[in-house]
Chain A
Amino acid sequence: DGGITQSPKYLFRKEGQNVTLSCEQNLNHDAMYWYRQDPGQGLRLIYYSQIVNDFQKGDIAEGYSVSREKKESFPLTVTSAQKNPTAFYLCASRALRPSGANVLTFGAGSRLTVL
């Protein structure tokens, strides 16, 4: 079955530590996205990538870094520079065909808690 997998589902880290969240898709989608969701809040775009080896900052990129070395993978690193990293992180992907819906498919999310 095709889908998008995020891991781990739950992650606890001490303040000041970097942490990397994994996102893998086998949908052959071109573009991948990372969102942050705080309790009772909407989805805020952190970073996105439309092609391998290229990515762009979203609305809240400070304190985060990404890489896109393979089409299937788009890991997100939450660095110690992120002042308030505790949140629910969602990865998504979509195709970029000239015609067609090209809507987002989301992973199940990773909940990061910084102690």
Chain B
Amino acid sequence: GQQLNQSPQSMFIQEGEDVSMNCTSSSIFNTWLWYKQDPGEGPVLLIALYKAGELTSNGRLTAQFGITRKDSFLNISASIPSDVGIYFCSNNNDMRFGAGTRLTVKP
């Protein structure tokens, strides 16, 4: 099956800093999905991408669907303490997820 690799595994940043994380796949995707999981809760969809090259923003979040259709990145600008959590990438096909990027924001 396809493999999803997320990096970095974890990040420790200062409040106000920008964050960038990415996800690569061993196969071509038609959809890239980014979810966020707050501690002790279920993941919630942040951004969905449907076309190669697509760049989508949602407040302080920006995500891009890579031209090769095998990668995607998620940026968070001006981080705040409530950004803490685990960020997962996924597709809309086989419902598998990357291992996640765990974000810690120090006030």
Contacts and interface: CB of A to CB of B under 8 A. Distances in A.
Contacts of A45: 95-96
A103 B33 contact: yes
A107 interface: yes
Interface string A32-62: 0101000011110100100000000001000
Given A42-B88, A43-B88, A92 B98 contact: no
Contacts, number: 46
A90 interface: yes
A35 to B, nearest CB: 8
A16 to B, nearest CB: 27
Interface stretch (B35-43, B62-70, B74-82): B35-43
B41 A48 contact: no
B48 to A, nearest CB: 6
A36 to B, nearest CB: 11
B88 A109 contact: no
A48 B95 contact: yes
B95 A101 contact: no
Given A42-B88, A42-B99, A111-B40, 10 more contacts: A33-B95, A42-B100, A92-B95, A101-B48, A103-B48, A104-B35, A104-B95, A106-B42, A106-B43, A108-B41
